């Protein structure tokens, strides 16, 4: 068998190099899509003049690191989750339940991971241009219980499937002038603003309406 011509040998070398390049590209793409599939998913729920609100999904076996920026940051858990860091930089793992919430100091850091073999979800609220500390609390409406507190602008974060009524005072503090009832439906992880003022909230659903409140 006669050896190939220089042109044939050059063609074989080009094809060999091309196969190597294709194989390398394929390996890179596989690693890219694997990393993409296993990375945390972040969805923007709200972005206005007061706050940027996102929902983060932390897959099992992965860690999500939350960094405190120059403004105030609040985290709210929607599932059972394990976290470390936060206030004082304590690295001892702690377990949080759905509905737990706390602020993260400016420049602080906290790590989250799923407490079981299921993805864990949390809400991250980054305040904008706040002049005072945010007030983080919880609200649980059961049966005919009403909450009649005076509030500044407040962000509600749904923890349970909730159906409740909101009646707001349109008068001053000395006169109760009720607004038309507004029926509100929220799902776990949904967010909405509540206007400043005195509110009467009444549960309308079969189960307790569980919410986290963040007051500006």
pTM for the structure as a whole: 0.78
Task: Give pLDDT tens digits for 108-151.
Answer: 899 999 999 999 999 999 999 888 899 999 999 986 656 666 77
The answer to whether 119 and 57 are in contact (CB under 8 A) is yes
Closest to 212 (Cα-Cα) out of 184, 191, 198? 191
Three-class DSSP category at 84: strand
Q: How far is CA 96 from CA 77, 91, 100, 139, in A?
A: 7, 14, 6, 17
pLDDT score of 70: 74
pLDDT score of 181: 93
The answer to whether 82 and 94 are in contact (CB under 8 A) is yes
Q: Which helix (H) or strand (E) holds 12?
A: helix 6-38
Give the mean model confidence (pLDDT) for residues 178-199: 94
Asked if 41-127 and 135-215 have one fold, the answer is: yes
Q: How far apart are CA 213 and CA 156, in angstroms?
A: 5
Domain 135-215: state its class. Answer: mainly beta
User: Which is more confident, 65 or 87?
Assistant: 65
Instruction: Select from 1.10.8.10, 3.55.40.20, 2.60.120.10, 2.40.50.100 the CATH code of 41-127.
Output: 2.60.120.10
């Amino acid at each position: 068998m006669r050896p190939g011509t220089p042109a044939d040998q050059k063609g074989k070398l080009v094809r060999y190099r091309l196969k190597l390049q294709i194989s390398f590209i394929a390996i890179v793409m596989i690693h890219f899509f694997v990393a993409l599939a296993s990375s945390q998913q972040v969805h923007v729920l709200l972005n206005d003049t007061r706050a940027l609100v996102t929902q983060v999904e932390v897959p099992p076996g992965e860690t999500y690191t939350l960094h405190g920026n120059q403004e105030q940051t609040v985290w709210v858990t929607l599932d059972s989750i394990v976290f470390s860091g936060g206030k004082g930089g304590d690295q001892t793992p702690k377990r949080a339940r759905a509905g737990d919430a706390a602020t993260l100091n400016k420049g602080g850091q906290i790590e989250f991971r799923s407490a079981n073999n299921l993805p864990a979800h949390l809400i991250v609220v980054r305040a904008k241009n706040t002049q005072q500390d945010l007030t983080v609390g919880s609200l649980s409406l059961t049966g005919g219980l009403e909450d009649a507190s005076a509030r500044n602008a407040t962000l509600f974060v749904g923890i349970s499937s909730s159906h409740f009524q909101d009646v707001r005072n349109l008068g001053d503090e000395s006169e109760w002038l009720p607004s038309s009832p507004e029926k509100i439906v929220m799902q776990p992880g949904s967010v909405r603003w509540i206007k400043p003022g005195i509110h009467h909230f009444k549960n309308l659903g079969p189960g307790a309406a569980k919410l986290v409140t963040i007051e500006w």
